[in-house]
């Protein structure tokens, strides 16, 4: 019996090869997108899952309330860890964690990396697979632990315990000196979905050798540790510890009247990343990492929409094919077949088709998953069928679900007919009905929504690409020099290059550094972004002075009390008259005077609301970065020249040059990738909808062949007959246009609003363009079939009937 079922299935597949190919391709594409979305979700949900003891690890965080607004922070006062260790017995272990960029030398090779500094209990709290060495070595200040990745890259082997490596330490005097370490352990590099991305880690005591902040010390409550972890074995003690932490609010608030803590709280490490991305998003999160929620939901929505389209098409095609098999069903019922056997036959055929679609999807996923992974730097998707039981279960459920969704209607409906009515020709199955109209309407809605999203994100990408951020976004290279002496040396080395138009020194740079403090004007106090800039910075960055004057070179008065402010700064303080000459107070005591107003500067690019910005004139001994301005067409050659000179003057440190294009890369990358994603969705959604419409038109024509013949005999024109065939599709398209247009407008606006603060709002032109594309697709799908049918000789139609 099974052999006969399979034989019937095979014959039916061969009779409808084109429809089968179309549906297998569509289903395969949708399944490939579902696989990608599932792996993307799994990558995020497994964040930090490698740490076995995470349930007993807590991070100290705090709330700060300022002017009625509450924000969360992930840093902790530097002395807090010592006080907890000495006074709160419910805490089993404390670990401070800091990281900073460093230059390391192994033999003749120099590499730059983030070096982590942690207290000795770090490896008791967090799980790292140690491949060589002993954890006891971590208690030795003279030893470091490195990843197997670093070992392979620079030693060409993994077991390098006992070998030496040199850290190049920048001293307070501006001189770089070597500091020797012995490698005490080699750990396996964790997967990328991990909060700790370091390749080199050493004991926290070594941090003080690289610290250049004179106020950052073990006892100064004004400065912060990046992260403070507590290990609390008994969950019942968490509330007790939290209560005791509140006694350390006062010491910090006494020394920072301008930055007061409201409440300490403990955040469990399990699920830390997801919770800290919720609103209000955690500020000062030095662990970082994680995937934005939009990056999880957008691919999932795309996959679901494509899967629905594929199922709708599958159902329409199944209806078309099943309608031709009424006589087969009638005869089989007369011969004694039970209805449940016929249902199993049809569902089995659909399951086989879906299985073929699954195979096609797996093949497409081999291309689609790596392609999607390469779009995002923070992703590392692994398409493995043997290492993930959940993934295999997902594939099985996906197969069964698609088979049931796509094949249930024709299987249960067509097998309900009585054999007598079938064989007498009274039973009719085919044409359009409310169910097929709903399917088509759903396809129209989804396709229009997808097209609107694709057009909207493309237009927004072009809009944001040309958005005036208040500074130049091409033709600037910055390099970290870290002190005045290095700045002077490097500047002199570069001065002979005629392609360099201008050189500037600065402490902060709009693309990568600034700080934030409260500033008061009379009774109004606001938190503002602050940058300390040097000579020529405004000119290199093409910042526009709107009124007043710039800083005068080497003016001590300007260094002590003069500031430039942005338009948003003026707006925040409600200044209606000239801002020049206004006096503000910073850090409760420092009086500063506005000497000029510059055009608005978007320090957060377009992600968040524009912040008021205050510019101060930096002392040269505070210079951290050197900037050069060049023609954008010559930036590559100048960058090569800068790297060559860097190696000459700083042979023990890695070249740190960055194009401002690269520093703003995240904005451009997301714009480009989101446009590609929704363009992909729009194209294939429209393609599958066109195929589905062609199928339904074919069904409708079969139903109305006699009517068409009679109309032709009575003199109906091609246009009239085309209207008869397609009237209900035109109505369906009209209704779907309204629904899909509204859904697309609100969906695109909501998604863009969740990503950016400033974006291009959807307009009538976008909607009209999207609807036009949809109409063109519909006309192309039905035009040929309709016209060819309308031009048939009516005698052939009536003779058949």
pLDDT of residue 798: 57
**DSSP state, residue 156:** S
Q: How confident is the model at residue 440, as a pLDDT? A: 73
pLDDT at 603: 87
CA atoms of 790 and 718, how far apart (whole Å) = 5
- State phi, psi for 281 to the nearest 5 degrees: -65, 140
* pLDDT of res. 801: 43
Contacts of 335 (CB under 8 A, 6+ apart): none
Angle at 462 between CA 458 and CA 465, to 5 degrees: 135
**3 state SS of 233:** coil
Q: Which residue has the tokens 């272990």?
A: 93
Q: Do residues 443 and 305 lie in contact, with contact meaning Cβ atoms separated by under 8 Å?
A: no
- Yes or no: say if 96 and 179 are a contact pair by the CB < 8 Å rule: no
**What are the backbone dihedrals phi and psi of residue 469, each rounded to the nearest 5 degrees, phi first?**
-85, -5
How far, in Å, CA of 460 to CA of 19, rounded? 38
Name the 3-class secondary structure at 71: strand
Best CA proximity match to 238, nearest among 90, 122, 92, 95:
90
CB 493 within 8 A of CB 794: no
Helix axes 718-755, 434-465, angle to 10 degrees: 50
Residue 134, pLDDT score: 94
Phi, psi of 268 (to 5 degrees): -65, 145
Q: How distant is the alpha carbon of residue 305 from its chain centre?
A: 20
First to last CA, the chain: 36
Handedness of CA 307, 310, 316, 320 (dihedral sign): negative
CB-count burial class (<10 Å; 0-12, 13-18, 19+) for 439:
buried
Tell me the C-alpha to C-alpha distance, in Å, between residue 131 and each of 48, 128, 149, 723. Answer: 20, 9, 12, 75
- DSSP letters of 470-512? SS--SSEEEEE--SHHHHHHHHHHHTT-TTEEEEEEES--TTT
- The pLDDT value recorded for residue 674 is 80
R_g over Cα of the chain: 34
661 half-sphere exposure, CB direction, 13 A CA radius: 10
pTM of the model: 0.81
Quickly count: other Cβ atoms within 10 Å of residue 754's Cβ: 12
**CB contact set of 123 (below 8 Å; sequence gap of 6+):** 130, 135, 138
The 8-class DSSP code of residue 194 comes to S
Residues 6+ positions from 568 with CB-CB distance below 8 Å = 600, 610, 611, 612, 613
pLDDT along the chain (801 residues), means of 10: 55 60 81 90 88 94 88 94 94 95 84 91 95 94 94 91 91 84 94 89 94 89 94 95 95 87 94 83 82 81 85 72 60 62 70 82 90 84 76 79 70 62 52 67 84 87 87 92 92 94 95 89 91 96 95 94 96 93 90 96 86 95 94 93 93 88 71 81 80 68 63 62 66 84 88 85 86 82 67 57 43
Q: Which two tokens stand for residue 329?
A: 């069903």
Q: Select from 682, 685, 708, 687 the least CA-distant residue to 785.
A: 708
Alpha carbons 691 and 669: distance in angstroms, whole number: 33
CA–CA separation, 757 and 602 (whole Å): 11
Q: Are strands 109-118 and 200-203 parallel, antiparallel or unpaired?
A: parallel
Residues in contact with 715: Cβ distance below 8 Å, sequence separation at least 6, in sequence order: none
Rounded Cα–Cα distance for residues 305 and 399 (Å): 16
The values of phi and psi at residue 370, to 5°, are -60, -35
DSSP 283: B
What length is written for the chain? 801
Counting Cα atoms < 13 Å in the Cβ hemisphere of 379 gives 20
Residue 262: which region, alpha, beta or left (left: phi > 0; alpha: psi -120 to 50)?
A: alpha
């Amino acid at each position: 019996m099974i052999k006969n079922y399979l034989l019937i299935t095979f014959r039916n597949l061969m009779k409808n090869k084109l429809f089968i190919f179309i549906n297998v391709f569509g289903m395969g594409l949708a399944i490939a997108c579902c696989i990608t979305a599932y792996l993307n979700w799994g990558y995020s949900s497994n964040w930090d899952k490698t740490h076995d003891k995470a349930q007993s690890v807590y991070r100290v965080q705090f709330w700060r309330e300022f002017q009625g607004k509450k924000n969360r922070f992930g840093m902790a006062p530097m002395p807090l860890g010592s006080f907890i260790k000495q006074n709160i017995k419910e805490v089993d272990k404390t670990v401070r964690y800091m990281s900073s960029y460093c230059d390391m030398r192994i033999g003749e090779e120099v590499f730059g990396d983030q070096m982590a500094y942690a207290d000795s209990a770090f490896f008791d709290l967090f799980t790292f697979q140690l491949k060589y060495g002993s954890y006891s070595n971590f208690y030795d200040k003279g030893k470091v632990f490195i990843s197997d990745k670093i070992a392979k890259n620079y030693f060409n082997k993994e077991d390098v315990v006992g070998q030496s490596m040199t850290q190049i330490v920048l001293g307070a005097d501006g001189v770089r000196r070597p500091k020797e370490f012995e490698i005490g352990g080699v750990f396996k590099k964790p997967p990328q979905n991990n909060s700790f991305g370091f390749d080199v880690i050493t004991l926290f005591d070594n941090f003080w050798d690289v610290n250049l902040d004179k106020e950052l010390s073990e006892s100064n409550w004004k400065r912060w540790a990046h992260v403070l972890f507590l290990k609390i074995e008994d969950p019942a003690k968490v509330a007790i510890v939290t209560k005791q932490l509140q006694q350390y609010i006062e010491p910090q608030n006494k020394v920072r009247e301008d930055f007061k803590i409201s409440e300490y709280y403990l955040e469990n490490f399990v699920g830390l990343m997801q919770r800290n991305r919720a609103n209000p998003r955690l500020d000062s999160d030095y662990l970082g990492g994680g995937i934005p929620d939009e990056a999880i939901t957008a691919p999932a929505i795309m996959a679901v929409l494509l899967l629905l389209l594929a199922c709708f098409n599958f159902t329409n095609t199944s209806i078309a094919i099943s309608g031709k098999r009424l006589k087969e069903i009638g005869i089989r019922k007369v011969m004694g077949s039970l209805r449940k056997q016929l249902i199993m036959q049809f569902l089995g055929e659909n399951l086989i088709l879906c299985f073929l679609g699954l195979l096609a999807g797996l093949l497409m996923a081999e291309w689609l998953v790596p392609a999607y992974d390469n779009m995002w730097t923070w992703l590392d998707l692994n398409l493995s069928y043997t290492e993930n039981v959940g993934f295999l279960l997902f594939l099985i459920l996906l197969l069964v679900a698609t088979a049931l969704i796509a094949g249930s209607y024709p299987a249960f409906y067509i097998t309900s007919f009585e054999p007598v009515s079938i064989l007498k020709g009274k039973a009719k199955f085919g044409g359009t009905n409310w169910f097929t109209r709903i399917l088509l309407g759903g396809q129209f809605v989804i396709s229009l929504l997808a097209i609107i999203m694709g057009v909207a994100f493309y237009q927004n990408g072009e809009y944001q690409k040309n958005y005036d951020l208040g500074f130049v976004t091409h033709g600037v290279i910055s390099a970290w020099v870290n002190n005045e002496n290095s700045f002077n040396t490097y500047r002199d080395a570069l001065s002979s290059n005629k392609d360099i138009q201008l050189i500037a020194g600065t402490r902060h740079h709009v693309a990568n550094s600034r700080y934030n403090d409260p500033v008061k004007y009379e009774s109004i106090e606001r938190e503002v972004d602050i940058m300390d800039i040097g000579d020529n910075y405004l000119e290199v960055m093409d910042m526009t002075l709107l009124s007043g004057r710039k800083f005068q070179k080497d003016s001590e008065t300007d260094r002590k009390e003069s500031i430039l402010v942005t338009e948003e700064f003026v707006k925040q303080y409600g200044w209606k008259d000239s801002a020049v000459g206004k006096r503000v107070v910073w850090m409760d005591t420092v009086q500063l005077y506005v000497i000029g107003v510059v055009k608005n500067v978007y320090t957060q690019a377009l992600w968040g609301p524009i912040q008021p910005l205050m510019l101060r004139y930096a002392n040269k001994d505070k210079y951290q970065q050197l900037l050069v301005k060049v023609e954008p067409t010559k930036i590559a050659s100048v960058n090569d020249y800068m790297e060559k000179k860097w190696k000459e003057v700083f042979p023990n440190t890695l070249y740190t040059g960055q194009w401002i294009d690269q520093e703003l890369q995240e904005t451009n990358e997301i714009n480009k990738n989101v446009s590609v994603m929704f363009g992909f969705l729009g194209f294939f959604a429209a393609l599958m909808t066109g195929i589905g419409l062609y199928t339904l038109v074919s069904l409708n024509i079969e139903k109305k062949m006699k009517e068409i013949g009679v109309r032709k005999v009575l003199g109906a024109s091609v246009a009239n007959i085309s209207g008869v065939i397609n009237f209900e599709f035109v109505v369906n398209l009209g209704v779907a246009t309204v629904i899909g247009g509204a859904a697309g407008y609100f969906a695109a606006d909501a998604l863009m609003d969740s990503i950016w603060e400033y974006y291009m709002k959807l307009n009538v032109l976008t909607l009209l363009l999207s609807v036009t594309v949809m109409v063109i697709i519909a006309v192309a799908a039905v035009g040929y079939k309709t016209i060819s049918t309308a031009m048939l000789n009516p005698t052939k139609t009536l003779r058949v009937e």
